[in-house]
Amino acid sequence: MGAKEPIKIQNLSVSYGNQKVLKEINLEIPEKGITVILGPSGCGKSTLLKCFNRIIELEENVKVDGKLFVDGEDILHPKTDLIVLRKKMGLLLQKPQVLPMSIYENVAFGAKIHKKMKKSEIDALVERELKKVNLWDEVKDRLKSPADKLSIGQQQRLCLARGLAVEPEIILGDEPTSALDPLSAEVIEKQFLKLKENYTIILVTHMLRQAKRLADYVAFIYLGELVEFNSAPQFFENPKDERTKKYLSGLIAG
């Protein structure tokens, strides 16, 4: 598990209609560990994240240019098999979005799409993944009840389990804790710290403190440009760019 080689981004530009949201991003994201994409709201970090599994294409009038290599393959190439690509990545959205089915079915949904499985295999999978995200004990007696009935923090953990069930290499998080209460957010953060041993995690956040708690590497994006990329200690202790220094000292509002 985990990406086999670094994710390479070359000259990546994204525009919505006439508006350029990302400008010529060049970045190399190391395999394993947590890479945080940091920046103020509206700077294009979510857009960057959505390029990795190309769900950016679900939006209208989007134009993506450049190259993005995952496992040595340019995934922005039109011939890329999106199903295979998306199976490699688990995505957590800002607001947890459960699917209109039971807790059990939510976890099994992705896995069942990719592989024909026996009932006993699915049972085992659901239990394993729910245990990974510390949700099993809370829901084991009501696996058949609607996922919508869970609290929002539980829903986000369920979404994580659902993503992990398709056995991805990479986990993408789009401010996955910002809609959660502090306790649930902490649970999710702990999961990330545990998962980073085996997965490449790319996490978008505008919360500086969260970045400090979690990051192994930080990419700072400001107004659609990649300002600075460095290992977390370097980035926080010894920022090079003026804009990074300003952001870290709170002069650029998040």
Partner 1 sequence: MPFKKFEEKIFKGIMYISFSLLALSLFSIIVVVFVKGLGSLSFKMLFSVPKGGYYLGKEGGILNAILGSIAIGTIATALSFLYAFCIVFYINVYRFSKSKFSRIVRFFLDILWGIPSIVYGAFGFGIMLLFKIPASLLAGALTLSFVILPIMARTMDETLRMIPFEMKQAAYSLGATRFEISYKVIIKQAFPGLLTAVLLAFGRGIGDAASIIMTASYTDSIPTSLLRPVATLPLCVFFQLSTPFKEVQERGYAAAFVLTMLMLLVSLLARLSFRSFSKYVVK
CB of 231 to partner 1, least distance (A): 28
Which H or E element spans position 137? helix 136-139
CB of 101 to partner 1, least distance (A): 5
Give residues with Cβ within 8 angstroms of 63, minimum separation 6.
Answer: 14, 15
Tokens in use for 226?
A: 């990649």
Cα 10 from Cα 26, distance rounded (Å): 5
Cα 107 from Cα 53, distance rounded (Å): 20
Cα 254 from Cα 248, distance rounded (Å): 10
Locus of tokens 């989007």: 62
Positions touching partner 1 (CB under 8 A) are: 53, 55, 58-60, 82-84, 86-87, 89-91, 93, 95, 97-102, 109-110, 113-114, 146-148, 159, 162-163, 166, 172
C-beta closer to partner 1: residue 107 or 211: 107
C-beta closer to partner 1: residue 99 or 208: 99
C-beta closer to partner 1: residue 112 or 243: 112
Q: Is the separation of the CB atoms in 33 and 196 below 8 Å?
A: yes
C-beta closer to partner 1: residue 44 or 163: 163
CB of 159 to partner 1, least distance (A): 7
Q: Is the separation of the CB atoms in 221 and 26 below 8 Å?
A: no
CB of 176 to partner 1, least distance (A): 12
C-beta closer to partner 1: residue 93 or 223: 93
Distance between start and end Cα atoms, the chain: 34
CB of 98 to partner 1, least distance (A): 6
C-beta closer to partner 1: residue 61 or 120: 61
CB of 246 to partner 1, least distance (A): 33
What b/e readout covers 135-154, taking b as 16+ CB neighbours within 10 angstroms? Answer: bbeebeeebeeebeebeebb
